[in-house]
Amino acid sequence: MFAYIVRRLLYAPLILIGVNLLTFALFFVVNTPDDMARMQLGAKRVTPEAIERWKVERGYDKPLLFNAGAEGAETLTRTIFFEKSLRMFVFDFGRADDGRDIASEIQSRMGPSLAIALPSFVLGLLVTVSFALLLVFFRASYLDFAGVVLCVAMMSISGLFYIIGGQWLVSKIWHLVPISGYGGGLDASRFLVLPVVIGVIAGIGGSARWYRTIFLEEAGRDYVRTARAKGLSELQALFRHVLKNAMIPILTGVVVVIPSLFMGSLITESFFGIPGLGSYTIDAINAQDFPVVRAMVFIGSLLYIVGLILTDLSYTLVDPRVRLE
């Protein structure tokens, strides 16, 4: 098992290098820095000098991969690839277009993102799993049927609708919580209730149906029938046997997203005006701030890979048969 984990850990940098190469190709090879400069400067001020100045300011005035003009190791280090892409491995993301340091910005924005994403995730998991168990408890009845219909209908509604509708109803008509904004400390809870609740509701449809299929498959197995035959009540059978054994497929989908919670949600944060990483990303996309987008791609993949490793580890915890060969 130890060897397996070491192998996975070694695989992770390999994936990150792949991500890095891909983003490098997307951001610097498909479009040269000249193209980007021309677009950012706008049609009016495009003179060769302006483009050159733009590139020098941002450090794009070097060769992409190989600097023939430099000497020694500098032929490789004084290049865009080294300075802009490889530096990300030591969390040096450089500066955004507005001159701020990206790494410190990310640090200060992680908190608000997590404040929304974590409660939404935990509550959402609890609600959907309980709802799915409820449907399985009443399986093959009208209640089950109605529940499935509700799930399909709910997953057919655009996520934007939940947010816009929720803001309109709760904040504008009922005046219960502020429409958007964020505050420090305990004051934040006022702003967090609505996005969290909406996040949970928006996720119910798809996930509850998915969990229901998993539970149903498990509930039809022989060992569950045996459990019922030896006198366990349906509830006991569901919680003690079905839920426990359905853990593996659930963990596959759930553990992998836990680290990514740091990234926050683009849409939610931008609608509710929460200064997290999601709104940071969306602002960067709208302002075409390429260094920030690049940094977020890198961090996002890093967190995803951590999630993959955690998933593997969690298997060993819930299922003693899995020995990770």
Partner 1 sequence: MTGIQPLVLWTDLLLFGLLACTLLAGWSVRRSEPMRAAWRRVGESSVGMTSLTILMFFLLVGLMDSLHYRERLAPAGGEQLAADDRRQLSTEVRSALDALAAPLRTRVEKTYSAPLAYQLFARQTVEGPDGSQKREFPRLKHGGADLKYPEHELDGDIVGRIGMGLAVAAVAWIVFAAVLVKVVAMSRRVPAGAAWRAIWRGKGGPAWRAVLATLGVMLLLIGPLAALATEYHVFGTDKVGQDVLFLTLKSIRTALVIGTLTTLVTLPLAVALGIMAGYLGGWVDDVIQYIYTVLNSIPGVLLIAAAVLMMQVVIDTHPEWFETAAERADARLLALCLILGMTSWTGLCRLLRGETLKLRELEYVQAARAFGVSTTRILARHVLPNLMHLVLIALVMDFSGLVLAEAVLSYVGIGVDPGTVSFGTMINAARMELAREPMVWWSLVAAFIFMFVLVLAANLFADVVRDAFDPRAS
Q: Between 204 and 237, name the residue whose CB sits nearer to partner 1.
A: 204
Q: Is residue 115 a contact partner of residue 192, using CB atoms and an 8 Å limit?
A: yes
Q: Between 154 and 313, name the residue whose CB sits nearer to partner 1.
A: 154
Residue 164 CB partners (closer than 8 Å, separation 6+): 271
Q: Is residue 171 a contact partner of residue 178, using CB atoms and an 8 Å limit?
A: yes
CB of 38 to partner 1, least distance (A): 6
CB of 318 to partner 1, least distance (A): 21
CA–CA distance, 36 with 234 (Å, rounded to integer): 63
Length of the chain: 325
Q: Between 69 and 220, name the residue whose CB sits nearer to partner 1.
A: 220
| CA–centroid distance for 197 within its chain | 18
Q: Between 29 and 126, name the residue whose CB sits nearer to partner 1.
A: 29
Q: Between 144 and 234, name the residue whose CB sits nearer to partner 1.
A: 144
CB of 147 to partner 1, least distance (A): 14
Farthest CA pair distance, the chain: 84
Instruction: Give the 3-state secondary structure of residue 273.
Output: coil
Binding region for partner 1 (CB under 8 A): 14-15, 18-19, 22-23, 26-27, 30-31, 35-36, 38-39, 152-153, 155-161, 164, 167-168, 260, 263, 266-267, 270, 281-282, 285-286, 288, 290, 293-294, 296-297, 300-301, 304-305, 308
* Residue tagged 């998915």 (tokens): 210
CB of 152 to partner 1, least distance (A): 5
Q: Is residue 299 a contact partner of residue 106, using CB atoms and an 8 Å limit?
A: yes
CB of 308 to partner 1, least distance (A): 8
Task: Report the DSSP beta bridge partners of residue 95.
Answer: 101
